[in-house]
A and B are shown apart, each in its own frame.
Chain A
């Protein structure tokens, strides 16, 4: 990173301080995800029926659930799983999408058209429904939640990388690399892909929030994560049974955790976009 980029980033941050707040939020979340399970006041799995369904208090910051488990501890411990699912899903679709899209955009022709058709078909499904069907077909496990979320994100990355590579493939520096005797593979890997990375990174940070909502939605309907594993989506699902008797904290607390996480990722995504890709500023 050159000093000019840093200065530019500083200028953006001054104009939009929310980005800094969001970055701090993500940093905090990551900390919670890594160390949270050692810091929580209660065991997130062990039940204590004598203290079940208690509203938030000093002893239990977010109340207790139907088995007397401390909701706050469960929220903290769940951060790791929720983030891990979203980050690995988006990481997979980023890596695969970048390579497939770049190859298609560079070579064009029949392969490009075939992949384009496949992407069209994928996008003809309502994406959440597609993820549901895939988890059903692959088997109801956490790995498959990740795979399904990765696949429904894939079309966007393929299209994006394809378009970005396509506009660059006939530029002077690509031609120069070819003239110097670089193979096609080396041109794609060493010159084109690094060039589209910043734009892809923006796409990725904007995508993470959506991936978290998606994974939480899947576990809310009973796919993937099994109780008693703490996870935000499934905590909402378990709390849903008690909402019409007024036990709001069982839904509101994991809901708030989801909302703040997604909000941080969205704000950070907007900020990163402003820093890396000034053309797309809104």
Chain B
């Protein structure tokens, strides 16, 4: 399969070329946390009135008495060995905390992306099929309003409507009911774990918890996706091959879905990648609103109690996820449009 090989080579090359950026991210996080004001040794000391000697000892333990470049090397060495330090809040290794919480965040973000794509693409297609119609204007209005409502406000209003007024949503805190039994953790994604355990009732409960936070996140990113779908569908529908397909009398479905959408999907993939990065940021807000036990709320708690190791770890993980997502987008791009691999 030459196409597969070409894709692999491209992905490898992209991964290599993103290494300098990842390195830059490492250095930048380091500088952000160490060189700027705020002495971690003071935070790690027993209390606000810790003696000067105690702080000095801690400083030595943490290697903060060494020159900055040497500290950077030590830090890189630590990160290379997978050691991101220890959280003061939980007393656990940051890597362990992050590993426990990352699936919750990813499950939420991916669910939101799925909802956004599943609603944005049909909306965009509908708007493009009838430009200037009521649907088109409706979609445009919805998009214009959607980007203006902050995720935390839409999340809270969803809670008000579906939990308080209608009573159809469960208590908006966390991933599962406190008294519910958890499935054996295989992937960390509750929806998949429940399915694997064959627990349909549990799956439904977890799904109901997930749907509101995911929807409020999806609402925010729906606009760019729907807009780009509409724009690129308009281009595809106006192209020569669609006119040819029409004149050949091909079924409408085939023209729209098989030919137009297939060609219009490329820019949508690009925007989906960018949108994903926005969602990683929006995670912080949504996880706070819904008390979602993910990495973002963990980092936020750490941040507010001046516990810097988790924040540093979180920023690193987010940047790495972002690089991986960009890579995936690139691979998807190659699959969706074989011409890209040749170029």
Residues of A within 8 A of B (CB): 117-118, 120-122, 124-130, 132-134, 136-139, 209, 213, 216-217, 220-223, 233, 236-237, 239-240, 243-246, 248, 251-252, 254-255, 258-260, 262-263, 266-267, 282
Contacts and interface: CB of A to CB of B under 8 A. Distances in A.
Contact of B153 (A127, A134, A244, A255): A255
Given A117-B24, A121-B25, A259-B145, A216 B150 contact: yes
Contacts of A137: 32-33, 36-38
A56 to B, nearest CB: 15
Contact of B156 (A217, A251, A267): A251
B315 A129 contact: yes
B150 A125 contact: no
B288 interface: yes
B319 A133 contact: no
A139 B37 contact: yes
A220 B152 contact: yes
Contacts of A216: 150
Contact of B285 (A122, A221, A243): A221
A215 B169 CA distance: 30
B322 A125 contact: yes
What does DSSP make chain B's interface, helix, strand, loop or mixed? Answer: helix
A221 B322 contact: no
Contact of B172 (A244, A248, A252, A267): A244
Contact of A128 (B160, B282, B308): B282
Interface in B19-59: 20-22, 24-25, 28-29, 32-33, 36-38
Interface in B262-316: 277-278, 280-282, 284-285, 288-289, 296, 299-300, 303-304, 306, 308, 311-312, 314-315
Contacts of B145: 259, 263
A115 B282 CA distance: 28
Given A220-B150, A221-B288, A255-B149, 11 more contacts: A128-B282, A129-B281, A129-B314, A132-B303, A133-B311, A209-B148, A221-B284, A237-B152, A244-B171, A246-B165, A252-B160
A124 B315 contact: no
A91 to B, nearest CB: 22
28 contacts: A120-B24, A121-B24, A125-B319, A125-B322, A126-B322, A128-B284, A132-B300, A132-B303, A133-B29, A133-B311, A133-B312, A136-B306, A137-B38, A217-B284, A222-B300, A233-B150, A236-B156, A237-B152, A239-B156, A244-B164, A246-B160, A251-B156, A252-B153, A254-B153, A255-B149, A259-B148, A259-B150, A259-B153
Nearest to A239: B156
A240 B289 contact: yes
B128 interface: no
Contacts of A133: 29, 32-33, 303, 311-312, 315
A268 to B, nearest CB: 12
B160 A126 contact: no
Contact of A124 (B24, B151, B288): B24
B159 interface: yes
A55 to B, nearest CB: 13
Nearest to B320: A124
A110 to B, nearest CB: 16
The 4 closest A-B pairs by CB, nearest first: A128-B281, A255-B153, A121-B24, A126-B280
B110 interface: no
Nearest to A122: B28
B207 interface: no
The majority secondary structure among interface residues of chain A is helix
B163 interface: yes
Contacts of B300: 132, 221-222
A134 B32 contact: yes
Given A126-B280, A248-B160, A121 B21 contact: yes
B205 interface: no
Among B37, B157, B303, residue most surrounded by chain A Cβ atoms (within 10 Å) = B303
A129 B285 CA distance: 10
B24 A251 contact: no
A216 B172 CA distance: 22
Contacts of A129: 280-281, 284, 296, 314-315, 318
Given A246-B160, A251-B153, A259-B153, A132 B284 contact: yes
Given A128-B281, A243-B159, A217 B32 contact: no
Contacts of A245: 164
A249 to B, nearest CB: 10
Given A117-B20, A134-B32, A213-B150, A125 B25 contact: yes
Contacts of A223: 303
Interface centre among B150, B277, B285, B314 (most CB of A within 10 A): B150
Contacts of B159: 243-244
Contacts of B29: 133
